A and B are shown apart, each in its own frame.
Chain A
Amino acid sequence: MSRHPSMDVLCASSGLKKISPGRKFSFALYCMVLSIAGKNPWMGFFLAALLSGITLLAGKISLGNYLRLLSVPFGFLIVSCITLLIDMGQCGLWHGSLLGVNLCITKTSLSQAILVLGRSIGALCALYFLSLSTPVPEIIGVLAKLRVPGFFTGLMYLIYRCIFILFSMHHSMKTAAKSRMGFRDYPTSLSSVGKIYANLLHRSYSSAMEMFHAMESRCFQGEIAFYDFSHYSTNKKQKILFTLAYVFLFALFTLFSQKEIL
């Protein structure tokens, strides 16, 4: 297993886990909409800072873990923004040549790249705020309350549960292969990885059958349903805080919308 805690483990120890999942879900969604709908990137940057602050300080997630988790999508984001930033031609704020191709950065491409960066990073931090404070089954529970068809929520529950079973299977297979020098050089590693994944596919099929039998044995009738054991208090202080945050962010959104990007 990895030495770093997974998102699921961090979420289970979050300082925000006692807040109602519905409230966190709607707040994250609201922030995402404001970030994406904004015509100015500063709204996204502000939301990213605010939500990261909440996740780190109130959620008690360590900065190292947060940056580690953020690094993968952030890497993709930077690559996407670079492609938006660079245009072909010889005019603009900067121009140069690479392998005989003339490249430049124009004011339009720069503002477009910054806008995409701001929007994406705001939405990304909103998603991480939700993922690092609300366990997946609770998010699925919120979706079920929002009348998302039972077929999809049921499938989500099963996929989420199977991920851990598959991880554990993969871990034991990999360890067994390692113990028999299955990763001693590149060709052996390739062959071992192929065998592990083929075996994993076979095992996941038989596991799925067993899981279905276990569900059937408890009178499963086609729709996965659990009792809603909500342990969240409807705290008045919390309600006021969330309402103020909604109003403040909307005011900020209106203010930023009136300003130029650069």
Chain B
Amino acid sequence: MNEILRMEHICFSYEKNHPVLNDISLKITEGEKIALLGNNGAGKSTFFLCCNGILKPDSGCIYLKGKKLTQNRKDTFSLHENAGLIFQDSDHQIIGGTVETEISFGPMNLKLPPYEVKERTEKAIAEMHLENFRNRAPQYLSGGEKKRVGIAGILAMKPKLLLLDEPSSCLDSANAKLLEENLEKFALLGFPLIISTHDVDFAWKWAKRILIFHQGRLVADDSPEKVFARKSLLHTCGLTQPLLYQTGELLGLNPLPKTIEELSLHISSSPA
């Protein structure tokens, strides 16, 4: 798999002697589905801001598609463009007067020719099913619709990696399901996805790789099966095992079920 982003020994602090990110090293390759877990204040959002180039690390190196980046303007822009960041609160991300102008903001900043800005905007609108809202003012959209506008705004920039900061917070179940479907679609297109979440059940079901941040350190980076087997680590980080993981363990199932459908299939196929 092609490497998209690599971080080596990244450290960052807002105040001296209070590191928010401490010696973070990881590699993200094409098509990966990564869930980022950790308590509030563990450094998840700061990590995303560093990945996107908004915050500049105090030390360490960032590589984008194998190329070592410096902290100059060109490289920072390259990170902004390639590591698309979808913010937790869509209200802070949306600045346009209508949905379509909002989506055109990123491509316009890339100084693309007008026909390409239009083409990218139309494509992002279609991908996020926003055709009926294109002329609507963002302040009159629901939370789920705003989230879709935020994602469309990033997709229009054609990033190589998507970073989603707690995307399902403030979403009702219908919109959360729609978001999951979209994430699945992006994964099939080969986008590496990193999702910051508190929902261990979602992480267990969706992710192929789990990262756990604790007090600014990356304390776990492995497959969901291996990470959720480490009970003491989960306890230290204030996390619990997913419900389906626990159920599967109690029933002695192998492999452990990731969805309710898998669990019921196991139960129905097991001898009475």
Contact = CB atoms under 8 A, between A and B. Distances in A.
Interface stretch (A35-43, A97-105, A158-166): A158-166
Given A226-B101, A229-B104, A214 B110 contact: no
B160 interface: no
B229 to A, nearest CB: 36
Contact of A217 (B80, B89, B91): B80
Given A210-B87, A213-B54, A216-B80, A226 B108 contact: yes
A9 B140 CA distance: 9
Contact of A219 (B77, B92, B117): B77
Contact of B117 (A168, A220, A227): A227
Contact of B98 (A137, A216, A217): A137
B70 interface: no
Given A227-B117, A227-B121, A229-B101, A217 B92 contact: no
Interface residues of A, number: 34
Given A157-B95, A207-B92, A217 B52 contact: yes
A77 interface: no
Interface in B81-118: 81, 84-85, 87, 89, 91-98, 100-102, 104-110, 114, 117-118
Contact of B97 (A138, A215, A218, A231): A138
Given A213-B49, A219-B80, A227-B121, A137 B106 contact: no
Contacts of A160: 97
Interface of A: 8-9, 12, 135-138, 140-141, 157-158, 160-161, 164-165, 168, 207, 210-211, 213-221, 224-227, 229, 231
Q: What range describes how many residues of B lie at the interface?
A: 35 or more
B256 to A, nearest CB: 37
Interface of B: 49, 52-54, 77, 80-81, 84-85, 87, 89, 91-98, 100-102, 104-110, 114, 117-118, 121, 134-135, 137-140, 153-154, 157
Contacts of B93: 211, 214
Contact of B110 (A161, A165, A219, A224): A219
Nearest to A219: B109
B101 A219 contact: no
A226 B106 CA distance: 9
B97 A211 contact: no
14 contacts: A12-B137, A135-B97, A161-B94, A161-B138, A164-B139, A165-B92, A217-B52, A218-B109, A224-B95, A226-B108, A229-B100, A229-B101, A229-B118, A231-B135
Nearest to B103: A227
